[in-house]
Structure 1
Amino acid sequence: MSLTSDTTNLRELSGFYIIMPSGILASIPNGICLIYLLTRTLKRWWVTKRPLPMAHRVPFYIAFSEFNLFYMNSINMVYSAVNGHTIQGTACKWAGGLTFFFVSVNTSLVGLLSLTTYLRI
């Protein structure tokens, strides 16, 4: 018997009431830290009225792409917790595509930052 997401009520699966709340609770500190980092960087940028140095710009871009991942993951988790099934159809394709895009951007930024750091040393 194969379980598919369109016929399975997630609430009936064992561990749903452990996995879902722990995932949501674990993402709260991540969201708080991302919002803090983004607001501090934007505030610094607006107060100085000068371009941000590269040492602040790259972490800002990484935090921005991570915030988008946090937002997409939060929507997915809350939707699954409320409705008892995952997002279906075109919305699922959009969510998957956007998640893939933001993971790729985040991975590229971190990889390029590490390569730049390696080449400078």
Structure 2
Amino acid sequence: MKSLLAIAILLTPLAASADFVHPLDFDGSEAQKQEVLGYIEDRVKADYCDGQLDMCQPSNLRMMEKQNLRAFKMLTQAKDRAILDKVIEDYCEGGLDMCTYDTINMMYNQNVKANQEKLAW
């Protein structure tokens, strides 16, 4: 009985954390919608409640969750996968731990804009 309880306790955090869903791989299924919502909720809570920031208030959490969901929805319409993939790599898989859909959307838009600019006098 104790070993079953220990296994359940060890597996609970793994089951509770949702995985990052690449916006351009999103298929609109109910399962993926729940995965996206879970990732956003987990990430916002980690950033605002469990980290150095102490802004763990329901109003802040809901505001940031909504902002990240809006950003995710916009990213599903991204036109340049190579730029989006690079932004995700930099902010989610690199040394920076800023893997929020809001940050990804902001940096994707900045990179698309910069990709069209040329240096001039």
Q: TM-score surpassing 0.5?
A: no
Higher relative contact order (CA 8 A, sep 6+): 1
Work out which of the two has the higher radius of gyration on C-alpha atoms and give 1 or 2. Answer: 1
TM-score by length of 2: 0.29
TM-score by length of 1: 0.29
Query: Which has more helix, going by share of residues?
Result: 1
